Amino acid sequence: MTPDNAGFMVAAYVVAAAILVAYAGSLVARLRGVRRPGPAGPGEDR
Amino acid sequence: MTPQDRAARLARIGIALTVVALLGLGGVYLRAFAFTPVEVNQGAAQKIFYVHVPAAWSALMSISITGLLSILYLWLKDRRIDLAAAASAEVGVAFGAVMLTTGPIWGKPIWGTWWTWDARLTSTLFLFLLFVGYLVLRGVLTDPGLRGRFSAVIGIMGLVLVPFIHLTVYLFRTLHPAPIILKPSAPSLPREMLVTLMLSLGVFTVLYLGFVMQRYALGLLHEFREEELARDAG
Amino acid sequence: MGALLRATWVIALKDVAIEWRTKTAFASGLVFAVLVLAVLFFSRDPTAVAAQDVAPGALWVTFTFAAMLGLNRAFLLEREMHALDGILLTPAPRSAVFFGKFAANLVFVGVIEAVSLPLFVLFYDVPIWLRFGELVLVIAMATVAFVAVGTLLSAMAVRTRYAELLLPLLLLPFLVPPLVGGVQLTARLLEGRPLSDLSGWLKLIGAFDVAFVTLSALLFQVVLDE
């Protein structure tokens, strides 16, 4: 009897995509930020 | 072309690769959902495999690359190697996050529990934490020389730790499924599933490259700006 | 080689002497040991969980937390006194600094372990006398593992403002193989399994010791370089 658990599959796929897209977005945002003038903040890493 | 321009161009290539890979991920999702057979014992949830396993591989690969670059950095002392190592580490943490979220979501319907302190899960969790620590360490160290050296130390230690954690897994009876890909004989996955997995691995590899290029370029651009500010202030 | 050993001895002796004079880290380590052993003992349902089942875990939690307390203190003291700069000015070989500190930390953790063990027997009523020698061997091997890595990591952590946060965070992943091995071996020894059954775990911890003592000693030089 094959269990009906497609909900979990969808959840996992959504979470994975969300993390990857969020990370991609953070990279683009930080790249844009570094082009703007102004000193680096104390917590900024290389 | 100034070094800044080169870094900016690298970032743009990285972004392009990332976009392509993310679209590819969508394609993999489609293929996994609609064109790959359902595993009879686990049901649809088994398809999480096509995201979880490539993420895990990629995380492990990212971390190993950081380790290798760390050795190179201590030997050659080139700051760009340190930046590349840090880029790979951060990307490894991102993939690790995917692995550590999709894993439990897969585990719940199959094993009945979100988490179990079996050796493999425990090990990957702690490896993830080590690289979070790596990033935290980089965050609190302001001197680039110190930061580079200390990061390299963690990177190398992490690299050597990986096989020990793997050995700990094999010595401990575990719920985690036995490896079916890296067996000495042929993999026991049916062909359709293997193709989907390979496609997903390809997507994740391109994603890794795109992410690392962007992160590396970001590190370079930060350094250039720091130098600019120092020059203007002086 | 003679210079290395002499320098190691002197540095180790200095650290142990300093700690002996104040005894604060010893005291907090011991108090912590009693606390952990007691809490873990009383936090179970005694009708459902035998003391023997909880025992190995309780013992090793005690050991590792005591070790972390000691490791932090050792370098904190150093930093406050800028003593490290003084040592580096001497002609002592750099690796002596690592081995000296490593030895002193081992003494510290070893004393805590030696005092915790009778407490452990008292609380958990485990028959350690039957396998005492083998148990001591296992404890020694695993302790060497996390003290070696801990000595290196505390040298790095102490250079930041967040040493108390960074040391446990960075050390934790390296604790997994020796800790899992230590608990497994302790549990099986207390169950009465022969040592030959446990060769896998012993080899794992042994290899870990060799790899990480060497690596920590080598990388320590990188950490010290200005």
What ipTM score was computed for the predicted complex, to two decimals? Answer: 0.86
- Quick one: pLDDT at residue A44? 53
- Residues from C in contact with B at Cβ < 8 Å: 149, 152, 156, 159-162, 166, 169-170, 172-174, 176-177, 180-181, 184, 200-201, 204, 207-208, 211-212, 215, 219, 222-223, 225
- Quick one: pLDDT at residue A38? 53
pLDDT at B53 over 80: yes
Per the CB < 8 A criterion, the answer to whether C167 and C71 are in contact is yes
Query: C121: domain range?
Result: 2-224
* The one-letter amino acid at A37: P
- Quick one: pLDDT at residue C17? 79
Distance between CA atoms of B63 and B93, rounded to whole angstroms?
Answer: 8
Among C72-86, C112-126, C175-189, which range has the highest average pLDDT? C175-189
Mean pLDDT across the stretch B165-184?
A: 61
- Quick one: pLDDT at residue A39? 55
- Which comes out higher in pLDDT, residue B144 or C17? B144
Distance between CA atoms of C18 and C153, rounded to whole angstroms?
Answer: 21
pLDDT at B118 over 90: no
Q: Quick one: what percent of chain C has pLDDT higher than 70?
A: 92
Per the CB < 8 A criterion, the answer to whether C215 and C149 are in contact is no
**Which residue from B98, B101, B67, B61 is spatially nearest to B81, judged by alpha carbons?**
B67
Q: Which residues of A touch B102 (CB under 8 A)?
A: 12, 15-16
Task: Identify which of B122, B136, B167 has the shortest CB distance to residue C204.
Answer: B167
pLDDT at C211 over 70: yes
Among B2-6, B152-156, C104-108, C192-196, which range has the highest average pLDDT? B152-156
From B6-15, B55-64, C11-20, C62-71, the region with the lowest mean pLDDT: C11-20
pLDDT at B74 over 60: yes
Look at chain C and report how many structural domains it folds into. 1
pLDDT at B212 over 90: yes
Q: What is the mean pLDDT of chain C?
A: 85
pLDDT tier, B1 (very low <50, low <70, confident <90, very high otherwise): confident
Alpha helices (H) along chain B: 3-34, 49-76, 79-111, 119-140, 144-171, 191-233
Which DSSP category does B114 fall into? S
- Quick one: pLDDT at residue C195? 82
pLDDT at C122 over 60: yes
Which DSSP category does C131 fall into? G
Q: What is the mean pLDDT of chain B?
A: 88
Q: What angle do CA B193, B195, B199 make, to 5 degrees?
A: 120
Mean pLDDT across the stretch B149-173?
A: 86
For residue C166, CA distances in Å to B124, B138, B203, C147, C157 come to 19, 11, 35, 16, 6
Give the chain B residue whose CA is nearest to the CA of A9. B45
- Quick one: pLDDT at residue A46? 59
pLDDT at C221 over 50: yes
Coil/strand/helix, residue A40: coil
Per the CB < 8 A criterion, the answer to whether A2 and B46 are in contact is no
- Which comes out higher in pLDDT, residue B222 or C32? B222
* The one-letter amino acid at A34: V
Task: Identify which of B136, B141, B172 has the shortest CB distance to residue C180.
Answer: B172
Counting one residue from chain A and one from chain B, the pairs whose CB atoms sit within 8 A come to: 112
- Which comes out higher in pLDDT, residue B95 or C223? B95
pLDDT tier, A36 (very low <50, low <70, confident <90, very high otherwise): low
- Side-chain half-sphere exposure of B9, counting CA atoms within 13 A: 6
CB of B221 less than 8 A from some CB of C: no
Q: Given an 8 Å threshold on Cβ–Cβ distance, is B150 in contact with C152?
A: no
- Token match 């590792």: residue? C64
List the structure tokens of C20. Answer: 């002996």
Which positions ≥6 away from C219 have C-beta within 8 Å? B153, B156, B157, C152
List the structure tokens of C104. Answer: 């002193």
**Which residue from C36, C41, C106, C37 is spatially nearest to C70, judged by alpha carbons?**
C106
Q: Quick one: what percent of chain A has pLDDT higher than 90?
A: 57
* The one-letter amino acid at B23: L
List the structure tokens of A42. Answer: 């104390």
Task: Identify which of C166, C169, C204 has the shortest CB distance to residue B171.
Answer: C204
pLDDT at C34 over 80: yes
Residue B37, classified by CB atoms within 10 Å of its CB into exposed (0-12), middle (13-18) or buried (19+), is exposed
pLDDT at C42 over 90: no
